[in-house]
Amino acid sequence: MTQSALDIAQQLIKFPSVTPDDAGAQGYLKSFLKELGFEIYDLPFEGRGSYRVENFFARYGKDGAHLCFAGHTDVVPPGDEKAWSVPPFEGAVRDGRLIGRGASDMKGQVAAFAAAARDYLQSGYKKGSISLLITGDEEKDSINGTARVLEWMKEHNHIPDVCIVGEPSNPDYMGQEIKIGRRGSLTGYLTVKGRQGHVAYPDRADNPLTRLVKYLDTLKETIFDKGSAFFPPTNLEITTIDTGNSASNVIPAEAKAVFNLRFSDRWTVEALETKIRFILDGISPAYELRFNRGAHSFITQPGEWTGLVADAVAAHTGVRPAMTTSGGTSDARFVASYCPVVEFGMVNKSIHQVDEYCKVADLEQCTAIYHEILKRYFV
């Protein structure tokens, strides 16, 4: 097998695997790994209020230390394809950049690890176990993907000792950051009811917007915490305010707002929900509120595993990466309940954008770093 990481990434990009349509991406990857001697377990899951998802688990070796790479082959929609400089699912290389949906999030990293695993095995594999947990449901519901595969892995004695998730972890350049945790995510849906009426007769109406604005202003001004050793302070952002009112002379009967918190390890979801209700009740209990629990915060405390990854990154970039928890949520939040997990990949500045890309040089460097991690882990 002579495919480079670039070859593999280009092939993966050609499959328009917008969640939850696999479109053949995992079949291609499974064939590649099967030729290397990996045992493949097809693990499609459905139900639990979500759509069917294609997933698989591949493992080489059964004894000794076990390192798992977790990644996803699904991508977000490309948007207006006419706005792209090249077709989003062509996998074209222009001016040293691989352009395509998923190039950096995260088919590039999946390709880099597949190539690194092959190179490691062919260079004199001696002991240990390498596995890949690949899902098709990271970019959307995340219900029948990684979480379900991990349940299966536990049931069948496949839980690894350590895991690396191939999210693009660097904001600007290779070696800048590895993620050792992520903030939690909590979304609140706030409704305030009033009484509709004419703006010229406010005494005959009850404007719900007046209370809604006060609720939101108080929440926004609240200092929930000052952060911790590896987490920035908890932050609340108001994302929508809506009345469904198109008339300028009508006081609406109802007003709604949505807000999202990205929270530190100072909070649990339950404690944060209680705190928010306490704040709102202090103004007035005349509201309705429901929550969507997006993710819990998690942290892999710096230690042997995080240090090994940082050393491998530094060896190939000349930069000692910072250990951070910034950014959005990822499937690492599920893995964290089973084993130490870190995230490392390429640069994320173009993810989900038109003309998403990764530098070919970064792809090659990422492959070398993954190979270095394998060599250092299986000493």
Rounded average pLDDT over 254-269: 96
Query: Which of 349, 347, 356, 348 is CA-nearest to residue 83?
Result: 356
Catalytic residue among 74, 137, 167, 265: 74
Look up residue 260 and give its amino acid: N
Q: Give the pLDDT band (50/70/90) at residue 379.
A: confident
Total domains, the chain: 2
Residues 188 and 161 placed together within one structural domain of the fold:
no
Residues 220 and 86 placed together within one structural domain of the fold:
no
For residue 1, is pLDDT > 70? no
- 295, 320, 338 - which closes a domain: 295
For residue 177, is pLDDT > 60? yes
Residues 34 and 154 placed together within one structural domain of the fold:
yes
Which residues lie closer than 8 Å to 356 by C-beta, 6 or more apart? Answer: 88, 99, 100, 101, 102, 103, 104, 105, 350
Residues 192 and 170 placed together within one structural domain of the fold:
no
- Based on the residue annotation, tell me whether 356 is a catalytic residue of this protein: no
Q: Is-cis flag, bond preceding 106, omega within 30?
A: yes
CB 342 within 8 A of CB 181: no
Question: pTM value?
Answer: 0.91
Rg of the chain taking only CA atoms, in angstroms: 23
Calculate the dihedral angle through the C-alpha atoms of 284, 295, 338, 228, rounding to the nearest 10 degrees: -70
- 295, 325, 350 - which closes a domain: 295
Look up residue 16 and give its amino acid: P
CB 72 within 8 A of CB 132: no
Residues 209 and 121 placed together within one structural domain of the fold:
no
Residues 355 and 279 placed together within one structural domain of the fold:
no
For residue 248, is pLDDT > 80? yes
- 263, 295, 327 - which closes a domain: 295
Helix-helix angle 304-317:360-377, to 10 degrees: 140
Residues 211 and 167 placed together within one structural domain of the fold:
no
For residue 285, is pLDDT > 90? yes
CB 260 within 8 A of CB 187: yes
- Based on the residue annotation, tell me whether 74 is a catalytic residue of this protein: yes
- Range(s) of the domain holding residue 158: 5-182+297-377
Minimum mean pLDDT range among 96-100, 122-126, 138-142: 122-126
CATH at residue 93? 3.40.630.10
CB 352 within 8 A of CB 287: no
Q: Residue 175: its pLDDT value, please?
A: 98
Residues 265 and 122 placed together within one structural domain of the fold:
no
Residues 176 and 135 placed together within one structural domain of the fold:
yes
Catalytic residue among 22, 54, 137, 138: 138
